[in-house]
Chains A and B, each alone.
Chain A
């Protein structure tokens, strides 16, 4: 990272931390006005990461998802974008600031431990499908993470949620949470599905085969099927809501493993950088 990028990166990291802190303070001390500040800082983090990403794109000549560091930054960007879109359509999502800023902060921390050195994209991998594939992967993961965040809220229990509602009317109704979880799961299934299909088309042109059961391909499909099981279990069997929420969180872990964990355990052709 050059000096300018460093400033953008660390200021964005600071903004996510401030958002988390402000949200906690506003909940604990019942200062609803702080929610507005928290929202402003998350918007600031989003803007800074956007500029950071554009700067990397210009510097290296490709969107930032070639190295693991870049993949994490893109994931954070999509997560914040997803949150901002959700909060635009529904004001009752302010509480999501807590898990979203926490996840963004943790990913920023993790990415800080990685080499931020960029890498040019080899000619063999330069393909429009790669951009579609990587974008939908991170967008799908964001949708699943939002679903998992709603699940955490549900698991906190009705009493706690009602207490929070006395602090701010922008906290969602406890009874609305299951539907929100299901909608984000379905949305994530579509995005993750496009990621798998576009990835196989890209693999065909880059590596000469559509599907080879490579560890990342395999774990992505496991995640997709697992979400399919969870959705059907809820819709067809009326799976108890608490079990449904726990399964949603567990499936989110497989998504995180597919995106960032596989490279640590397996030798894979998908390895970053």
Chain B
């Protein structure tokens, strides 16, 4: 039997596989995506969850299988449509009739979208910074909190330095917040220092780089731990994790001071501290023994044995996503031309049907 790469049977098989993959991803929690699936599979399945991990079913959209299916669909659409439109041309001597033209444009656009999606994945860069107000970072791998590079991503885009100047949080009449992160940016290709704002609903664009607000804002108190000789054992801004709870978001975290085997836990009280006096719940423990457990406010300090612990300032922190998607515009061109083609095809079919009726 001769293999036909453009056959409708192959198209159906590939579409069926794609649909199955998508339905599976709707049931099984996907790594790196919203934790939105209905079953907590890892705890429900226990050790057997390893099978899902080994099959890549917990990261379907990043597996070679997904991209192979997309690639094969592209080949299938290309071959299938060449054959189909050649047949139409043979009988009708034109592809310019609206219903045919619409269909040609629609299928070519699908091809364009698939190609652009694959190219975008291969050349994509997506990095996340966790930045406290006043902090500067460079476009170096070690500065990123986490990053994803496409297999073919190169460094040709040039690097930049980014400083988070301030974070402003606006409450509106809904429960939602609008966060505006003011930044200063300087690129290696352009000596000009430019200011910009990254907002909840508006990324900052520079050349082909987009800086997005990373959806999470937290608090970052400055913590100073010094001994009796006034030597600093710790000085820095502690980025408190923001965890949702039944009583709202809890901003808390801990640091370790290995020299003294100390663990210092911090929690900001109340929920909206920037609006008024800021207090913190602080707990200091050495091993299993609690040395201090109490509340203090900004600017205060307290003693634990020979150590002085103080919180002089409070700042905010947020995630900032840096995205380079070189083929995104191609995907959108594909989307809109595809929809135009589809609409033209529908109009053409309708006009043709009415003409035949008359």
Contact = CB atoms under 8 A, between A and B. Distances in A.
Note whether A and B form a binding pair.
yes
Interface of A: 119-127, 179, 183, 186-187, 189-190, 193-194, 197, 204-210, 212-215, 218-219, 221-222, 225-226, 228-229, 232-233, 236-237, 265-269
Given A214-B36, A229-B15, A123 B201 contact: yes
B130 interface: no
Leading 9 A-B pairs by shortest Cβ distance: A208-B212, A122-B176, A122-B174, A124-B201, A186-B346, A124-B200, A267-B36, A236-B8, A197-B335
A21 to B, nearest CB: 34
B1 interface: no
Contacts of B173: 120
A126 B173 CA distance: 13
A137 B174 CA distance: 24
Contacts of B36: 214-215, 266-269
Given A213-B30, A214-B34, A183 B350 contact: yes
B171 to A, nearest CB: 10
Nearest to A229: B15
Interface in B18-45: 18-19, 22-23, 25-26, 30, 33-38
Interface stretch (B46-54, B89-97, B336-344): B336-344
A273 to B, nearest CB: 9
Contacts of A225: 15, 18-19, 22
Contact of B23 (A127, A183, A222, A269): A222
A218 to B, nearest CB: 5
Contact of A267 (B23, B25, B35, B200): B35
B195 to A, nearest CB: 20
B12 interface: yes
Given A214-B36, A222-B19, A266-B37, A190 B339 contact: yes
A51 to B, nearest CB: 25
B342 A190 contact: yes
Interface in B134-178: 170, 172-176, 178
Contact of B174 (A119, A232, A265): A119
Contact of A219 (B15, B26, B37, B170): B26
Contacts of B263: none
Given A122-B172, A183-B349, A215-B36, 20 more contacts: A120-B174, A123-B200, A124-B178, A190-B346, A205-B201, A208-B321, A209-B323, A213-B25, A213-B33, A214-B34, A215-B37, A218-B26, A219-B26, A222-B19, A229-B12, A229-B15, A233-B12, A236-B8, A269-B34, A269-B36
B346 A121 contact: no
Contacts of A236: 8
B77 to A, nearest CB: 11
Interface in B166-223: 170, 172-176, 178, 200-203, 212-215
A223 B162 CA distance: 42
B176 A124 contact: yes
A229 B22 contact: no
A125 B25 CA distance: 27
A89 to B, nearest CB: 10
A124 to B, nearest CB: 4
A148 to B, nearest CB: 18
A130 B15 CA distance: 29
Contacts of B35: 267
B74 interface: no
Nearest to A205: B201
Nearest to B328: A210
A123 B201 CA distance: 8
A179 B19 contact: no
A102 B338 CA distance: 35
A45 B264 CA distance: 65
Contacts of A218: 22, 25-26
B61 interface: yes
B30 A193 contact: no
Contacts of B353: 179, 183
Contacts of A120: 172-174
A221 B22 contact: yes
A194 B349 contact: no
A183 B346 contact: yes
Nearest to A207: B215
A221 B18 CA distance: 11
A212 B353 CA distance: 40
Contacts of A209: 212, 323
B38 A266 contact: yes
A49 B122 CA distance: 49
A226 B19 contact: yes
A121 to B, nearest CB: 7
Contact of A208 (B30, B61, B174, B213): B213
B11 interface: yes
Contact of A237 (B8, B19, B323): B8
A190 B213 CA distance: 32
A123 B169 CA distance: 12
A229 B353 CA distance: 22
Contacts of A206: 200-201
Contacts of B30: 213
A119 B22 CA distance: 32
Contacts of B61: 213
A213 B30 CA distance: 9
A215 B30 CA distance: 11
29 contacts: A120-B172, A120-B174, A122-B178, A123-B176, A183-B349, A186-B346, A186-B349, A189-B342, A197-B332, A206-B201, A208-B203, A209-B212, A209-B323, A210-B328, A212-B34, A213-B25, A214-B34, A215-B26, A215-B36, A215-B37, A218-B22, A222-B19, A232-B12, A233-B12, A236-B8, A266-B37, A267-B34, A268-B34, A269-B36
